[in-house]
Amino acid sequence: MSFWSDPIRVANEWLNGLLTDLLPQAWATLIGNVIGVVVVSSFGLILVIFLIWLERKVAARFQDRIGPNRAGPYGLLQTIADIVKLLTKEDSIPEKADKVTFNLAPIVSMIAVLLIWAVIPFAPGWIGTDLNVGVLYIAAVGSFGILSILMAGWASNNKYALLGAFRAVAQLISYEVPMLLTLLVPVLLARSMGMMHIVHDQSLWFIVLAPVAGVIFLVSSIAEVGRTPFDLIEAESEIVAGYHTEYTGMKFGLFFAAEFLHAFTVGVLFAILYLGGWRGPGAEQYPILGMVYLIAKSSIGYFIVMWVRSTLPRIRIDQMLDLNWKVLTPISLALLILTAILDKMFAETALRAPVLLGANVLVVVLSWAIIRVLSRRSRRERKVFKKRPEARAV
């Protein structure tokens, strides 16, 4: 195995050999694990610097602008300049704030996202830890993100920040329901919760077997991240933005960076669960190719997220709740039950893919018809108000 086809394994074996020469086995394993953690999380943190530049460039193209183009070639160093600016800003803490919780909240928010990266299979053999309950783990660590928002809102000792935190938690908890239900569909299809197993099982990408679940997963994940059009939880452009109203400088920057990394993580999860992860020609022999495939596939989901962000306006809170409880949750429940029954009935037969695809089409057509009928009825029932007297120029 040469270095260029599988650098991670070669580096791992070299490091392991070096450590076991110097230390007893148990400590060598522990230190090896710690180094692994540092490598994976640093990769995520460095990726953010690039992602912020990428997002600004792409959003600029959508709005017919050029975007950052001063610092470095194509403005690549713009984010680094921004980080320096954020670090030199005044770090203000409200006088009556709960200082420890206040300072802890941005850190927890970043940790919540980085924890997901522990179970991401980058390539064959490249995975932080191949938990056999990987999908459940992703759902579990998501609750740290909610916790960080509550901590930030409460510790700020500002009623608007607290209200913002409640609003944010309400949205995150609601959209967790369809997200978890559609996370279960790939689990059903692969018959395992291990991330590596799910990737191995996708000789046919799951987006073909469960396209509707894939779309619902992406939509509810965008809401989980709190991006446009679901950014009513943290209106970044307004002064009283939400739970992070009181944060300045790099502490606000951490919330911001966590959101960016989470958005890309959504793309990565979408690629792993529905687009076949690192699978592609030659990925088994040359794991580094698998990494390239995964990044390429993740960019599809991430691009959709950016596209939606720069196209759609912010929705109202009643629209946000209606979409979740009246559309996404019932459809994903129906999909989960249908997938479970049909996949068991047609397992191992050639009919599996066409039947599952047909069921998805059926669900879309039926739910569209139901929505049409219901919206027509509600329009008929809507009261007709008496016309008000108009003001006229005399």
Binding site for other proteins (CB under 8 A): 26-27, 29-31, 98, 101, 131-133, 136-137, 139-144, 146-147, 150-151, 154, 162, 166, 169, 173, 192-193
Closest CB 221 distance from other proteins, rounded Å = 17
Q: Which H or E run includes 126?
A: strand 126-127
Q: What tokens were used for 19?
A: 């450590």
Give one word for 385, left, alpha or beta, with left for phi > 0 and alpha for psi -120 to 50: beta
Asked whether the beta carbons of 202 and 279 are under 8 A apart, the reply is: yes
**CB nearer other proteins, residue 87 or residue 173:** 173
**CB nearer other proteins, residue 150 or residue 271:** 150
Q: How far apart are the first and last CA of the chain?
A: 90
Distance of CA 179 to the CA centre of its chain: 10
**CB nearer other proteins, residue 29 or residue 69:** 29
Closest CB 163 distance from other proteins, rounded Å = 11
Closest CB 241 distance from other proteins, rounded Å = 20
How far apart, in whole angstroms, are the C-alpha atoms of residue 252 and residue 86? 9
How far apart, in whole angstroms, are the C-alpha atoms of residue 121 and residue 119? 6
How far apart, in whole angstroms, are the C-alpha atoms of residue 52 and residue 116? 19
Give one word for 249, left, alpha or beta, with left for phi > 0 and alpha for psi -120 to 50: left
Closest CB 342 distance from other proteins, rounded Å = 18
How far apart, in whole angstroms, are the C-alpha atoms of residue 270 and residue 303? 12
The type of residue at 250 is M
Closest CB 136 distance from other proteins, rounded Å = 5
Choose among 139, 148, 132, 140: nearest CA to 180: 139
Closest CB 139 distance from other proteins, rounded Å = 6
**CB nearer other proteins, residue 141 or residue 321:** 141
**CB nearer other proteins, residue 76 or residue 147:** 147
**CB nearer other proteins, residue 123 or residue 193:** 193
